[in-house]
Structure 1
Amino acid sequence: MSDKKRIECVIKDQVAYVSLARPDKRNALDMAMFREIDVTIKRLRKDRSIRAVIITGRGEDFCSGLDVKSVMASPKNPLRLLFKWLPWRSNLAQRVCTGWRRVPVPVIAAIHGRCWGGGLQIVLGADFRIATTDATFSIMEGRWGLIPDMGGSLALREHCRADVAKELTMTAKIINAEDAQKFGLITHISDNLITAAESQVAELIKHSPDAVAGAKKLFNKSWTGSRGMALLRESWYQIRNLTSKNNRIKVWNQTHQNNPAKPFKNRKRW
């Protein structure tokens, strides 16, 4: 196995730019990439200074899916990916999708070329997905006699109808960006990916990082589930938000728009 890094992460102006960096293999997921994505997510979760994450892929494709030959080279690798102590918690395979949901800042996936199989699972964990007009998408696992097992089913139930999710999964068909947007898999289409992603970040960071983090956690936890728990979380998260320094800064900036805006503090632990 190559010692070359699979993931590159650069933080600039409080934005983390995360790149899948295996372009010679179309950013296909091997064991090293699974581990490096997991480590990167954990590091970003702890960094209370960042305001957003932008995920990209180096080379011709965002991610062509699982590197089946590499992963299957050892019979222990599937067990390493699927093993978990607690059945309701994410395993390594699932954390590369579900982990982004736990990063308390907006996560934007900037997608070009192929976004198949595990690649699609990764971006479904992001909050927003921007794709080029020539990007293609597929729940590719069916071609290998598999079902999706990387946590994307959680996001699919939020983004598209059940019949659409079943058809895409059972047929493993490849769809274009226009259809992906129609089905709810992507948010925007743009051929200026980084410009579009950074423009969205610029809009998001005008607001309190605690309010943004609270809103993300609220919707991730309450989009499905009981009405009562959703109402409870609304109240509790709002109390946490109102007691933050960033709430007071946002109110001051909003009521003193003729003055230079005060900078926000590092967010609370959400």
Structure 2
Amino acid sequence: MAHFDPKTYRSALGQFATGVTIVTTRDASGNAVGVTANSFNSVSLDPPLVLWSLARTARSMAAFEQSGGFAVHVLASDQDDLANRFASRTDDKFAGLDVGGEGLPRIDGCSARLVCTTRHMYDGGDHVIMVGEVMDYESEGKAPLLFHGGGYADRIAREAGAGTPPVLYAVEDRIATITLNRPETRNALAEEVIGALVSALEAADANLDIDCVILTGEGPGFCSGGNIKQIKALTAEQRMTPIELENWYKTQIQRIPLTMDRMSVPVIAAVRGHAIGAGCDLACMADIRIAAEDAVFAESFLRVGIIPGDGGAWLLPQIVGLAKASQMMLTGEFIDAHKAERYGLVSEVVPAEALMDRARALAHMVAQFPPSAIRKTKRLIKDARDVSLAEHLDQAAIWQGVLQQMDDHREAIDAILEKRKPQFEGK
């Protein structure tokens, strides 16, 4: 292994996903011991600490308690057979593997490998929570094996790729249109949809030739929220622990609000039909929201015994105020488009057949301005939530100093004085 590099380790944290790790050690006789660790997670960068849990009744418990160290292997996407073997009760899990005769057993071909010294062991009820300090780390650059919704995600992705894409992405006139494309589920946020949506949002934000994004849904609904079948599978089939469920939310649906919050390109949500639960929250993540007359909004999490896990309890009060947000979240009431407009949840209500035309018209109104100024204006609005007025004014002065030196600013002034349409070049 190469010498431990904290920077490389930090950049790799995103690949530590639920249900893809094998932890190895040696017992008192020097024999290799290995288990699948569904709850593996990184908990600290300084010092670099990771944790995982092992059932008290596990046959390998004594080996991990006395060894003083363990190696974590993040499996590669082509190692699903190996994952199945270690998840089973077979006695010879290391059959055919050259794990070395000394030191912690090493499994080759993995996406990443960490060597850890055991720092703490905590009582987790029917599990023991083991915390290790990462002493060495290496990656072979392979895509990690992901396990979600009752199957391996690389296989799910291949099957999804053979059919219709979960999200449509199109660009025209400096406007990107991102369309959730699972009308048969009213565009529920299944894992394949989450991944594709995040990728599309990131692509739009990174493209400086895009000045505005329209987010909408294919078919009669905007987004019906989380995929109930997948959510049920997390506990009913996979029997995830609280730590595993926490990690699932962080590596799945919470990627959407974090991505939306980082973006500098404005997003317009064009909502028709249902925007329920996480679908309502998805609309709240946009900068501008317009609704068709048939739109219905609801914070329906209590109806299924959970809370907004995607930032809805943070987003909604900022948009409609604490009283209305509390009423929506604590009653689960469904509100129609016109009530949503009165609440301030949406800025306009239009006939369903005019929704996309109006969204495009708004997007063109945004995109007519200098590209850098558009993005800086959005960021100024977003960042104002978290700073004082004095800090906000400092930020505005700094950015103003930059923008007023740009060619686009001079072109805007000249075009007004010369009574002509400006030609901006993003410079």
Alignment TM-score > 0.5, same fold: yes
Shift of 1:51: 1.4
Once residues 231 and 302 of structure 2 are traced to their aligned partners in structure 1, the CA distance between those partners, rounded to angstroms, is 17
Where structure 2 has 5 or more consecutive residues not aligned to the other structure, the ranges are 1-155
Paired amino acid for 1:9: Y
Residue 87 of structure 2 corresponds to none
Overall identity of the aligned pairs, in %: 26
Residues 36-68 of structure 1, C-alpha deviation per residue, up to 9 Å, x if partnerless?
A: 111111111110001111111111111111112
Once residues 155 and 212 of structure 1 are traced to their aligned partners in structure 2, the CA distance between those partners, rounded to angstroms, is 22
Paired amino acid for 1:265: E
Residues 180-202 of structure 1, C-alpha deviation per residue, up to 9 Å, x if partnerless?
A: 11111111101111111111122
* 1:63/1:115 contact within 8 Å kept: yes
Regions of 4+ moved over 6 Å: none
Residue 82 of structure 1 corresponds to 249
What secondary structure sits across from 2:313 in the alignment?
helix
Q: Which of 192, 195, 206 is matched with 1:46 structurally? A: 206
Bigger strand share: 2
* 2:317/2:324 contact within 8 Å kept: no
Paired amino acid for 2:371: P
Residue 7 of structure 1 corresponds to 167
What secondary structure sits across from 1:240 in the alignment?
helix
Q: Which of 311, 316, 321 is matched with 1:161 structurally? A: 321
Residue 381 of structure 2 corresponds to 219
Task: Tell me whether 1:241 sits opposite 2:403 in the alignment.
Answer: yes
Residue 337 of structure 2 corresponds to 177
* 2:175/2:367 contact within 8 Å kept: no
Residue 220 of structure 2 corresponds to 60
Residue 86 of structure 1 corresponds to none
Once residues 184 and 78 of structure 1 are traced to their aligned partners in structure 2, the CA distance between those partners, rounded to angstroms, is 33
> Structure 1 177/105 Cα, relative in aligned 2: closer, same or farther at 3 Å?
same
> Structure 1 241/153 Cα, relative in aligned 2: closer, same or farther at 3 Å?
farther
Structure with higher Rg: it is 2
Q: Which of 333, 358, 373 is matched with 1:196 structurally? A: 358
Residues 145-164 of structure 1, C-alpha deviation per residue, up to 9 Å, x if partnerless?
A: 11112123343232111011
Once residues 52 and 121 of structure 1 are traced to their aligned partners in structure 2, the CA distance between those partners, rounded to angstroms, is 20
More RCO (CA 8 Å, sep 6+): 1
Count of aligned pairs: 258
Shift of 1:222: 0.4
5 Å matches for 1:76-155? 78-83=245-250, 92-155=252-315
Cα RMSD between the aligned structures? 1.9
Residues 229-270 of structure 1, C-alpha deviation per residue, up to 9 Å, x if partnerless?
A: 21222212212222333222222222221x4x3422237xxx
Shift of 1:211: 1.7
Paired amino acid for 1:200: L
Once residues 399 and 275 of structure 2 are traced to their aligned partners in structure 1, the CA distance between those partners, rounded to angstroms, is 34
Normalization by structure 1: what TM-score?
0.88
Where structure 1 has 5 or more consecutive residues not aligned to the other structure, the ranges are 84-90
Paired amino acid for 1:52: C
Once residues 190 and 274 of structure 2 are traced to their aligned partners in structure 1, the CA distance between those partners, rounded to angstroms, is 17
Bigger helix share: 1
* 1:99/1:125 contact within 8 Å kept: no
